[in-house]
Amino acid sequence: MAGTVLVVEDEKAIRDLLRRYLERAGHGVLTTGSGAEALRLLQAGGVDLMVLDLGLPDLDGTEVLRAARARGATAVLVLTARDALEDRLHGLRLGADDYVTKPFSPMEVTLRVQAILQRARGRNAAGGTVTFGGGHLRIDEARHEVVLDGQRLDLTPTEWGVLVALAAVPGRVYSRYELVNRVRGYEFAGYERTIDSHVKNLRHKLGATGSEVVQTVVGVGYRLGLNRDP
């Protein structure tokens, strides 16, 4: 699943290393060590995914992350030395699709990039349109679109993956571990708790009914609280 990847990293050696691995995997790669230049490239469009270091010399990387999330179409993998749990949770709350700490494996980053792009483009694109709750919620997998009461929602790839996974069997409870594997496509030790941040963001976008649509089952996980329409 190739795409255009923007690597935003102030260390040239890391930029060059990631470029080699990503290009070898078939991706088009843009690189910059500047947050301001990253914002310009995002504004120009055409970037499918950004690999973002948070410790940039001119801007805090979270500003660039917020700009990417405002665009919606660009997925974000944070690659940073900020390895505290609170830093990871903060990045995910801001809408990062994945979070990798340094030191890192360039092959792992490449595989995560490919997994995010797969989710972003909808691996089940032939699924068609399904509605829930008497038309309250509509999921169109072919168009990669979620509509709530007539309003289209701008979801990150991870938020989309969580919602589609829950909607596969409404009412069924999915553990955090199951959601990680369904959404990510691979096991990521320690990620089960951080998926709560994505659920929180998803509920916020679902508005006043967010907690009713995506319900918490204490001690177990999450379920879709709407019935599928006939």
Provide the CA 212 distance to its chain's centre, in angstroms.
Answer: 22
Closest CA to 29 of 1, 4, 2, 9: 4
- pLDDT tier at 149, thresholds 50, 70, 90: very high
Q: What are the beta bridge partners of residue 5?
A: 29, 49
Angle between helices 195-205 and 157-168 (to 10 degrees): 90
Structural domains in the chain plus CATH codes: 4-121 (3.40.50.2300), 125-224 (1.10.10.10)
At residue 183, does pLDDT exceed 90?
A: no
Answer whether 155's CB lies under 8 Å from 171's CB: no
CA dihedral 207, 208, 209, 212 (to 10 degrees): 120
- pLDDT tier at 97, thresholds 50, 70, 90: confident
- pLDDT tier at 137, thresholds 50, 70, 90: very high
Whole-number pLDDT of residue 146: 94
Six-digit token string for 36: 């301001």
CA 229 – CA 131 distance, rounded (Å): 6
Closest CA to 199 of 230, 155, 145, 142: 155
Q: What is the pLDDT of residues 28-66, one digit of tens each?
A: 999 999 999 999 888 888 888 999 999 999 998 898 998
Omega cis (within 30) before 103: yes
CA 163 – CA 130 distance, rounded (Å): 12
Whole-number pLDDT of residue 124: 43
Q: If you average pLDDT over every residue of the chain, what do you get? A: 86
